C-alpha cells in the first residue's frame, strides 16, 4: 500500500481521520485505541496485513499482506440512526454495502449469509465483525470491521476454515484493485449508513439474502438455536425462519452461526 496514494483517493469522502498501516494486530483493536484517543466520527483504519485479525467469539481472521482488505470504521451514536434499538440493522450495514459493490461494479453474484458474511458463488468472500461498546444502556461507540479476500492467495488453506472461502479475483476471473474496492465500499457504507432506518435498507438486505427458501439451522456455542426455511429479514434486521408447521420465528444476530441443512 502506497500510503499517500491511498489517502488521496479517500480524501473526497466525508470521513473522519484516516489511518493507514502496513501491519497491525487487528484494525478493530487499533480503532478502539483511536476512539480512546478521541478520534472523530467516521474515522477509518486500514491495514495491509493483520497479525491478530479477529472474527466473532475470539475466532481468528487471516489477512495476508497486500492480498486483502482489512478495515475498521468508527461510528458514534446518532439520534435516529445509531441507537441500541437500531443495532440489529447495523449488523447488516457492511454486508449490504459490500455485496452491493460486488454486484454493481463487478457483476458478481454476491449474497449475504445472515448475519455477517458476504458469499460469492456460495463461498465466503468477506466477513464483518461489529464491536459495540456500552455505558450502561447507552452505546458509546461502534467499530465496524470488514475483511475482504481480494487476491487469489488471500484465501487461507481449507483446513483453517469452518466455511468454504473464495477470493474476488478468483470469482471475477480478473484482478481487482484493492484501492478501487476500498473507495467503492466506503462510498457504499456512507450511502447506506444515511439510509439505515429507511425501508429501502431492509429491502436491499432482504433482496441479497442467501439461502432464501432453503432449510437452514442456526447454532450457537451452546448448541442448536433453531431450524427452518429462510423467509427473509424483518424490520429490525432479524432473520425470519419458517418451521415445517408453517410458524414464523425471528432470530436476533447475537453469536449465531448459520448453516444449510444437508437433506441428501
Ligand atoms: P461462519 O463463517 O462459521 O458462519 P462467522 O461468520 O461468525 O461464522 P467467525 O467465526 O466470526 O465467522 O469468523 C472467523 C472464521 O472465519 C474462522 O474461524 C475461519 O474459519 C474463517 N476465516 C478466517 N480467515 C478467513 C478468510 N480470510 N476468509 C474466509 N474465512 C476466513
Ligand atoms: C467473520 O468472520 O465473518 C468476521 C471477520 C471480520 C474480519 C475483519 S478484518 C478487519 C477487522 N479487523 C479484525 O480483526 N476483524 C475485522
Contacts of 48 (CB under 8 A, 6+ apart): 1, 21, 22, 23, 65, 66, 70
Candidate of 26, 28, 55, 225 to mutate for ligand 1, largest count of ligand atoms within 8 Å of Cβ: 55
Q: What is the CATH number of domain 215-260?
A: 2.30.30.100
Ligand nearest the Cα atom of residue 151: 1
Return d(Cα 194, Cα 176) in angstroms, integer.
Answer: 27
Candidate of 56, 71, 162 to mutate for ligand 1, largest count of ligand atoms within 8 Å of Cβ: 162
Return d(Cα 35, Cα 226) in angstroms, integer.
Answer: 37
CB 247 within 8 A of CB 229: no
Residue whose C-alpha cell is 444476530: 253
CA of 108 to the centre of ligand 1 (A): 21
Return d(Cα 92, Cα 95) in angstroms, integer.
Answer: 5
Task: Order the strands of the 257-260 sheet from edge to edge.
Answer: 248-251, 239-242, 223-233, 215-220, 257-260
Return d(Cα 61, Cα 237) in angstroms, integer.
Answer: 24
Q: What is the pLDDT of residue 264?
A: 59
Per-residue pLDDT of the chain (264 residues; tens, 9 = 90+): 999 999 999 999 999 999 999 999 999 999 999 999 999 999 999 999 999 999 988 899 999 999 999 999 999 988 777 787 788 889 999 999 999 999 999 999 999 999 999 999 999 999 999 999 988 888 899 999 999 999 999 999 999 898 999 999 999 999 999 999 999 999 999 999 999 999 999 999 999 999 999 999 999 888 888 999 999 999 999 999 999 999 999 999 877 889 999 765
Q: What is the pLDDT of residue 136?
A: 85
The CATH class given to the 3-207 domain equals alpha beta
Q: What is the three-class DSSP state of 154?
A: helix
The protein residue with its alpha carbon nearest to ligand 1, atom 18, reads: 59
Contacts of 158 (CB under 8 A, 6+ apart): 164, 165
Ligand nearest the Cα atom of residue 49: 2
Q: What residues does each domain of the chain span?
A: 3-207, 215-260
Using CB distances shorter than 6 Å, the residues near ligand 1 are 55-56, 59, 61-62, 116-117, 124, 127, 149, 155-156, 161-163, 165, 257
108 DSSP 8-state letter: -
Does the C-beta of 50 come closer than 6 Å to ligand 2?
yes
Does the C-beta of 88 come closer than 6 Å to ligand 2?
no
Contacts of 97 (CB under 8 A, 6+ apart): 185, 188, 189, 191, 192
Candidate of 49, 53, 64, 92 to mutate for ligand 2, largest count of ligand atoms within 8 Å of Cβ: 53
CA of 130 to the centre of ligand 2 (A): 8
Q: What is the pLDDT of residue 263?
A: 66
pTM, rounded to two decimals = 0.95
CA dihedral 78, 83, 88, 92 (to 10 degrees): 10
Amino acid at each position: 500500500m502506497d500510503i499517500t496514494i491511498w489517502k488521496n483517493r479517500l480524501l473526497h469522502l466525508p470521513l473522519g481521520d484516516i489511518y493507514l498501516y502496513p501491519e497491525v494486530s487487528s484494525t478493530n483493536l487499533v480503532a478502539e485505541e483511536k476512539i480512546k484517543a478521541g478520534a472523530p466520527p467516521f474515522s477509518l483504519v486500514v491495514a495491509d496485513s493483520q497479525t491478530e485479525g479477529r472474527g466473532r467469539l475470539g475466532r481468528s481472521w487471516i489477512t495476508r499482506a497486500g492480498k486483502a482488505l482489512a478495515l475498521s470504521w468508527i461510528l458514534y451514536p446518532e439520534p435516529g440512526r445509531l441507537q441500541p434499538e437500531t443495532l440489529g440493522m447495523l449488523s447488516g450495514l457492511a454486508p449490504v454495502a459490500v455485496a452491493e459493490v460486488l454486484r454493481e461494479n463487478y457483476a458478481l453474484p454476491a449474497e449475504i449469509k445472515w448475519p455477517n458474511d458476504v458469499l460469492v458463488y456460495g463461498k465466503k468472500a468477506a466477513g464483518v465483525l461489529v464491536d459495540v461498546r456500552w455505558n450502561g444502556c447507552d452505546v458509546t461507540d461502534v467499530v465496524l470491521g470488514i475483511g475482504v479476500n481480494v487476491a487469489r492467495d488471500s484465501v487461507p488453506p481449507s483446513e483453517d476454515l469452518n466455511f468454504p472461502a473464495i477470493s474476488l479475483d478468483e470469482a471475477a476471473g480478473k484482478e481487482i484493485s484493492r484501492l478501487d474496492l476500498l473507495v467503492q465500499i466506503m462510498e457504499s457504507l456512507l450511502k447506506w449508513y444515511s439510509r439505515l432506518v429507511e425501508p429501502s435498507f431492509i429491502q436491499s438486505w432482504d433482496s441479497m439474502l442467501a439461502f432464501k427458501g432453503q432449510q437452514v439451522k442456526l447454532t450457537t456455542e451452546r448448541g442448536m438455536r433453531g431450524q427452518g426455511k429462510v423467509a427473509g429479514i424483518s424490520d429490525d434486521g432479524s432473520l425470519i425462519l419458517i418451521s415445517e408447521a408453517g410458524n414464523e420465528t425471528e432470530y436476533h444476530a447475537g453469536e449465531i452461526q448459520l448453516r444449510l441443512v444437508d437433506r441428501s
